[in-house]
Amino acid sequence: MKRLLIAGPCAAESREQVLTTARQIQAAVGGCVFRAGVWKPRTSPASFQGAGEEALEWLREVKAETGMPLATEVATAEHIRLALEAGVEYLWIGARTSASPIVVENLAEALTRYRQGADGACAVLPKVLIKNPVNPDARLWIGNIARLERSGLPVMAVHRGCAHRPSWRMAYRLRQERPDIPILLDPSHLTGERALVARAMEKIDVLGFDGAMIEVHCNPETALSDARQQITPAELGELLKTKMVAEPLDRCDDLAWLRAMIDEVDDDLWAKIEERMNLAEEIGGYKKKHLIPPLQQKRFEAILAQRLEWSKTHRISEDAVRGIMNALHQEALRRQQ
Ligand code: PEP
Ligand code: MN
């Protein structure tokens, strides 16, 4: 399958913002599927909730002018009806909705009725995209795909990570269990920061994703939602000179996936080491104030003994435990000087 590119703003904010962004994307990359959120599931009710139904008219204009197919997020049967009536070809189910199997079931039923023509005919039958749930639950993601497949419509998955972090294990599990399901990468929600989008996009070629969904805004700094992660159409054009360029992989590169998972664990590990050293420094402050020397041999021996006991049931050698604990302790003492 050729890689699919879906790009556009997080939210449709105004007619001008939607049309300007679409025109600039077309000029920069020669067209793609144009995305824009019409109904936005936000954490706070005080935040921008999307422009609603009116925005579908702006999307229609984008398609009429540029010919780009459309994508929008749906969370209710009514959203599906309105989006299909507006001629939207790609419907995606967002991460928050994807966390609720009952809601996904309802959406699958609504889609089935459309496919069977029971709820009125739509000009083109849509393709359905399902993001991973906000929690890293591969089984629920895979289950949601099965629910949606009952509609008979083509289903694709989107890996958008959890809390602005990837979960390569979750995506790998889906790849292994359902090699027939295309998976797109969403580097925008995966990182939450535009400076990190380019790096995340490298994984599309390396891990063999089937495409990308990227947030692109004509003026990202002023965006009403996800302002920190959106890039400009010109930046998208630049990125695509070097990303998403390799031939799609015809098999799953297991070593590349395993390495991505180990890099992810290393990121967590180093963040924890940094947290540990910051705590050690705080303890250093306390010791200074109370005239306690930094080196407390008894305390170190006690935590080392505890870890050695733990290692017996965790397949980590005694030598490794001693080496790592000594290195951590040395660095902690250095921070307490
Ligand atoms: C979005 O794509 O704008 C969106 C809300 O995504 P997610 O459901 O992944 O947070
Ligand atoms: Mn968004």
Q: Quick one: which atom of ligand 1 is closest to the CA of 11?
A: 3
Q: Quick one: which atom of ligand 1 is closest to the CA of 37?
A: 3
Q: Whose CA is nearest to atom 4 of ligand 1?
A: 94
Report how far ligand 1's centroid is from the alpha carbon of 223 (Å).
14
pLDDT of 310 reads 97
Rounded to an integer, the average pLDDT of 194-221 is 97
> What pairs with residue 73 in β-bridges?
92
Q: How is residue 242 annotated by DSSP?
A: T
> How many Cβ atoms sit within 10 Å of the Cβ of residue 195?
10
Angstrom distance (rounded) from CA 204 to CA 283: 43
Q: Which residues are CB-neighbours of 41 under 8 A, at least 6 positions away?
A: 73, 75, 94, 96, 97
> How many Cβ atoms sit within 10 Å of the Cβ of residue 159?
26
Q: Whose CA is nearest to atom 3 of ligand 1?
A: 10
CA distances from 244 to 147, 155, 195 (A): 30, 21, 18
Domain positions in the chain = 4-249, 256-335
User: Is the CB of 99 within 6 Å of ligand 1?
Assistant: no
Question: Could you give the percent of the chain with pLDDT greater than 70?
Answer: 98
Helix, coil or strand: residue 174: helix
Angstrom distance (rounded) from CA 195 to CA 144: 32
pLDDT of 120 reads 66
pLDDT of 247 reads 86
Angstrom distance (rounded) from CA 186 to CA 270: 25
CATH of 256-335, one of 1.20.59.10, 2.40.70.10, 3.30.110.30, 1.10.10.10: 1.20.59.10
Helix, coil or strand: residue 107: helix
Top mutation candidate among 33, 70, 73 for ligand 1, by most atoms within 8 Å of CB: 73
Q: Quick one: which atom of ligand 1 is closest to the CA of 10?
A: 3
Is residue 71 a contact partner of residue 8, using CB atoms and an 8 Å limit?
yes
Average pLDDT, the chain: 96
Q: How confident is the model at residue 249 (pLDDT cuts 50, 70, 90)?
A: confident
Top mutation candidate among 33, 134, 189, 230 for ligand 1, by most atoms within 8 Å of CB: 189
Class of CATH domain 4-249: alpha beta
pLDDT of 117 reads 82
pLDDT tens-digit series, residues 83-126: 999 999 999 999 999 999 999 999 999 999 988 887 666 667 89
Question: Two tokens at 302?
Answer: 């006690």
Q: Where are the beta strands (DSSP E) in the chain?
A: 4-8, 33-35, 70-73, 90-93, 127-131, 155-159, 183-185, 211-215
User: Is the CB of 189 within 6 Å of ligand 1?
Assistant: yes
Is residue 208 a contact partner of residue 181, using CB atoms and an 8 Å limit?
no
Question: Two tokens at 284?
Answer: 């250093």
User: Is the CB of 159 within 6 Å of ligand 1?
Assistant: no
Q: Quick one: which atom of ligand 1 is closest to the CA of 188?
A: 2
